Amino acid sequence: MQALVTVFYAFALAHADKLKHDLHNDGDRGEIVQTVIIIAAFAAAAIIITAVLVSKARTAANSVKTQ
C-alpha cells in the first residue's frame, strides 16, 4: 500500500513540475482537460486509499477483546 502511495506521489510531483515548466516557458496551452482528469484520478485514488485504511482500522478496533 505504501509503495502505491509513493508511486502516486512521485507521479504527482513529476506532473506538477512539468506543468510549472510548461506554463513558465509556453504560457497556458489549453491543457486543462488533461489536468482535470489527472487531478480527478488522484482524488479517486485518495478516496480509495482512505476507505481501505478506515476499513482496516475499523476491523482492528472491532477485533480487540474488552473483557
Higher pLDDT, 67 or 37: 37
Q: Are 1 and 49 in contact (CB under 8 A)?
A: yes
Q: What is the mean pLDDT of residues 23-48?
A: 80
Digit-coded pLDDT (tens) for 3-28 = 777 877 787 877 777 777 666 665 55
Q: What is the mean pLDDT of residues 28-50?
A: 86
From CA 19, how far away is CA 12, in angstroms rounded? 10
Higher pLDDT, 34 or 50: 50
Q: Quick one: pLDDT at residue 66?
A: 84
pTM value > 0.75:
no
